[in-house]
Structure 1
């Protein structure tokens, strides 16, 4: 999913490789100008507002936005005595973020002893995503993490035959499923509900959140837990899968044109980064 995690080209589990005569370093970090106006809000105060954000991609993490100090509310950052060390970028100073009567400890950080090759991050500050009330691009709130310009979703109609079975029971059979291609993931096949025996699907508690597709509901099939999922109110960019159901090929038998599909290695979604996780609560927090 994106440039530096899941199975992206800079991740530890990359499915491709760079065509170079010599091995690349074990870890590659990539920083670039975001080229979007980005803002951060805390306690009804805009504490950051910049058109010069630098986006840092590092292996195994979501992209992180770094704001130049000149574009921050100078009163919002209170230095702490906490200093840690980043394995690639050196000493890291931490700050309490304060606005009005609220404060959040260790909610911002910056690198204070950068190596020469990373000088583009000098004098820039990042904010822990979940410690803030919200982040925006222009006037539109963004959820989950800073937008990864290398993440892409393509949704295509197909006339291939898809069947889902559990034991001797046919759970779904469709001659017009929809396939979703998402950066860093194997194709995911979605089935219209008219082609599903919905009596077999039992909704379960607990949802997850994708910053690109929306809130995801899950279903048990018989005794198999969370064998299927659906985005019942998918985001506009992914609305072609709204209400459709996808099935986990390691929990049910998923057959495409007579060939059984299996879960590919590296496809399990795991939140990355000590400063955040992705959950449904973020969608509803103020």
Structure 2
């Protein structure tokens, strides 16, 4: 996703390559100012509030927000004896976070001796996303992880024919699917429900959460779990795919204009867990 996740430019298995005479290091970190007010809430208290946040993009990880220590509430950080070492950023001290009468261990960390090439992390602390109650940009809650400015989704209409089969059964046939292009992923094709044999879809338990699209429901086809999914109430930014069904080409046969689609390397989706204290109804309200 975005710059350093899935197959983004700084990911371990990037889809493209930098055109340089010498190969880049295997791991390239990227830091930039967020340039937005960001706040962190814990146990009902604002533990951090800053307009000077720095984002760290690290291969294989979501962006991480680092707050200046001066913008952290007094008494919110409790020092511990736990230390680790980041391979590029050096010694890392861990903190217990306190809010009111509540404390959570290993909920924040700071790189205590960043190298010269990473001086923007000196005097900054990051909070574990799912250990906090919530993060906000101004007054809007940000879900999943710090917003990645390099993550983009485009949805396009097409008249190409998409056919889904389970053996001899035609599960879906459409000449007007939608194609969703998302940073770091291969195109995903979404079929209107009117073009799907609903009887072929067996709802299964378990949902996943995408910070950019919302809650996904899953279906088995012919006894194969996870063969299809749908965002029944997709976020407003991607509402065109609401209620449409997408199919996993490594679990059912999916053809586009007669050519079979294959799951591209690196395209297995790593599901994102719910943020702390976030329930389904709150997610649904976000789509209203």
TM-score, length of structure 2 as denominator length: 0.95
Structure 2 gap segments, 5+ residues each = 283-288
1:100 equivalent in structure 2: 100
The answer to whether the 8 Å contact 1:179/1:189 transfers is yes
Alpha-carbon distance in 1 for matches of 2:2, 2:232: 24
Give the match's secondary structure for 1:74.
Answer: coil
Alpha-carbon distance in 2 for matches of 1:96, 1:194: 52
1:155-187: per-residue Cα shift (whole Å, max 9, x none)?
Answer: 011111110001000000001000000000000
Q: How does 1:9-48 map to 2 (within 5 A)?
A: 9-48=9-48
**Displacement of 1:280 after TM fit?**
3.8
The answer to whether residue 288 in structure 2 is matched with residue 284 in structure 1 is: no
Alpha-carbon distance in 1 for matches of 2:23, 2:196: 48
2:224 equivalent in structure 1: 224
The answer to whether the 8 Å contact 1:215/1:280 transfers is no
Alpha-carbon distance in 2 for matches of 1:45, 1:142: 17
Q: How does 1:19-168 map to 2 (within 5 A)?
A: 19-168=19-168
**Displacement of 1:74 after TM fit?**
2.0
**Displacement of 1:281 after TM fit?**
5.9
**Displacement of 1:223 after TM fit?**
1.4
Give the match's secondary structure for 1:268.
Answer: coil
Give the match's secondary structure for 1:31.
Answer: strand
The answer to whether the 8 Å contact 1:43/1:133 transfers is yes
The answer to whether the 8 Å contact 1:207/1:280 transfers is no
Alpha-carbon distance in 2 for matches of 1:47, 1:280: 21
Alpha-carbon distance in 2 for matches of 1:281, 1:164: 34
Total equivalences in the alignment? 280
Alpha-carbon distance in 1 for matches of 2:235, 2:115: 40
Structure 1 gap segments, 5+ residues each = 272-277
1:243 equivalent in structure 2: 243
Alpha-carbon distance in 2 for matches of 1:25, 1:194: 49
Q: Cα RMSD between the aligned structures?
A: 1.2
Alpha-carbon distance in 2 for matches of 1:265, 1:251: 15
Alpha-carbon distance in 1 for matches of 2:98, 2:164: 53
Alpha-carbon distance in 2 for matches of 1:173, 1:91: 56
Structure 1 stretches (4+) deviating beyond 3 angstroms?
Answer: 280-283
Alpha-carbon distance in 2 for matches of 1:202, 1:118: 51
1:8 equivalent in structure 2: 8
1:95-143: per-residue Cα shift (whole Å, max 9, x none)?
Answer: 0000111010010000001100000111000000010000011101011
The answer to whether the 8 Å contact 1:40/1:46 transfers is yes
Alpha-carbon distance in 2 for matches of 1:95, 1:265: 38
Alpha-carbon distance in 2 for matches of 1:269, 1:164: 20
TM-score, length of structure 1 as denominator length: 0.96
Give the match's secondary structure for 1:35.
Answer: coil
